Amino acid sequence: MMLKKLAHLSASLLGALLFAPVLAAAQPAGPSLSEAEIKTIAPLLRRYDTLVLLETKPDGNLRDMTLAIRVAAPREVVFSVFENPADFYYISTLFKENEVRDSHDNTKAWTWASRHSLFSFTGLNTIALFPPRRADVTITQSNIGSGGFKLFFFEEDKKHTLLLINGLLDVNSSEWLVKFLVGTSPSMRQAMNAAIGLIMIKGIKDVAEQKAAGKPLAKHTVKGSRKGELKPLSSEDIASVSGLIERGTVVLARSIKGGRLEQATVIEKTRAPLAKVLAAVATPEFYPKMIRAIDEVVVHERTPGKVDFSWKIGLSVLSLQSRNTLEFKEDGVTVSASGGELDGASWRWQLRDMGSDTTMVAYHGWADMDKTGAVLGKSCKREPYLEHGFMAGSNMVMVNAIRRVVELPPSP
């Protein structure tokens, strides 16, 4: 009898520990985007897969993140994706062993693991469901950090749902490996949040659309390859994000029909005149001074409209290099890579004068992850949407580096 009472007491204490963070946060809360902002971005999400807004503190660290995606499924179907954590493997194959450990009213707690050949990540999360409009996820305990996310479900019409996710992962609370990979850079912390967010929200869309089509759940796969030049933002696109870039950094991702990345675009408002920004992005030999990851740049030839250079990019667990051609365009510059691990990759700096010595910077990019070597190539085969996350994250680091340089006051 005593053992039975102790078991009940242990279960009660476990439930209190698991669900206290969720119950404390269960008060009604709205999305970070206003109704007017949601209406403004809705047409944009017909032209792009995903939108991310990252808002930072004065020291550059992330204050808040919002992701938005349009799902071709009724709202109740999209909401049903979150009813059984055991199925979350289908959202992302990076997270396996999803096991429900306890439940209380509208809340469930589950453990998960992401196992790799040299390391593993594990965690304990809780999810509280408030059908049909909201769900709250709390990362109660994990070695990648703690955090929380609120999910909002907006019915666009009977067959389409606009899904918004608001929250962030606190990398400062992670264990040593993540801190080693991310370092002390606020840009890397932002990039990690955006990358993980893109992977998850695109996986949610896939699962919801499988359910809506009556198909059995299966891990997502992608196919095909992009063709042609990177597409600049249209005037309509710029108008749609103009209000958001007053708040922070905007990321747009677009995929080809087979699901692979077509391009990732990072957009910011920079407090510097266009000429100063252009000089920074068009001078490759200065890149290593701006970005720690760029180990070496060699300029081979420079002509009035073109620069031929090579670079070597050293990351925590891999090294990438290529020879590149930088060309001046009417609205900025393009960079095309040939040879090395980045063979075929391309980037485009699109600049627009916003007046009062401010410039809109849109940095578009794409790279074939299958060519980047064993680490990234193998990871993208396991989780195809890592391609979107890595490209968006690396573009963010580049844009933040340029912004830090051009916004510095001139030397005396």
What is the SS3 string spanning 11-64? HHHHHHHHHHHHHHCCCCCCCCCCHHHHHHHCCHHHHCCEEEEEEECCCCCEEE
Strands 319-329 and 346-355: unpaired
Q: What is the predicted pLDDT for the residue at 241?
A: 96
Q: For residue 243, give the 3-state DSSP assignment.
A: coil
Look up residue 223 and give its DSSP letter: B
Q: For residue 61, give both structure tokens.
A: 């660290």
- CA-CA distance, 324 to 339, in Å (whole number)? 9
The residues that bridge with 108 in the sheet, in sequence order, are 103, 127
Number of H helices, E strands in the chain: 11, 16
- Tens digit of pLDDT at every position of the chain (412 positions): 333 333 333 333 333 334 444 443 444 467 889 999 999 999 999 999 999 999 999 888 889 999 999 999 999 999 999 999 989 999 998 778 889 999 999 999 999 888 776 667 888 999 999 999 999 999 988 887 889 999 999 999 999 999 999 999 887 776 656 666 666 677 888 888 999 899 999 999 999 999 999 999 998 888 988 888 999 999 999 999 999 999 999 999 999 999 999 999 999 999 999 999 999 999 999 999 888 878 889 999 999 999 999 999 876 556 788 999 999 999 999 999 988 888 899 999 999 999 999 999 999 999 988 777 666 777 788 888 989 998 999 899 899 999 999 997 755 5
The residues that bridge with 316 in the sheet, in sequence order, are none
Q: Sign of dihedral through CA atoms 308, 393, 315, 97?
A: negative
Residues 6+ away with beta carbon under 8 Å from 160: 70, 71, 72, 73
Asked whether the beta carbons of 128 and 106 are under 8 A apart, the reply is yes
Q: What is the predicted pLDDT for the residue at 412?
A: 53
Q: What is the predicted pLDDT for the residue at 12?
A: 33
- CA-CA distance, 393 to 181, in Å (whole number)? 13
Q: What is the predicted pLDDT for the residue at 379?
A: 79
Q: What is the predicted pLDDT for the residue at 28?
A: 47
Helix axes 274-281, 386-406, angle to 10 degrees: 120
Q: For residue 395, give the 3-state DSSP assignment.
A: helix
Write the Ramachandran bin of 339: left for phi over 0, alpha for psi from -120 to 50, otherwise beta: left
Q: What is the predicted pLDDT for the residue at 7?
A: 35
Q: Does the model's pTM come out above 0.85?
A: yes
Phi, psi values for residue 222, rounded to 5°: -130, 160
Q: First vs last Cα of the chain: how many Å apart? A: 80
Domains and CATH numbers, the chain: 32-212 (3.30.530.20), 267-406 (3.30.530.20)
Alpha helical stretches, state H, 267-373: 274-281, 287-290
- CA-CA distance, 397 to 131, in Å (whole number)? 37
- CA-CA distance, 190 to 170, in Å (whole number)? 10
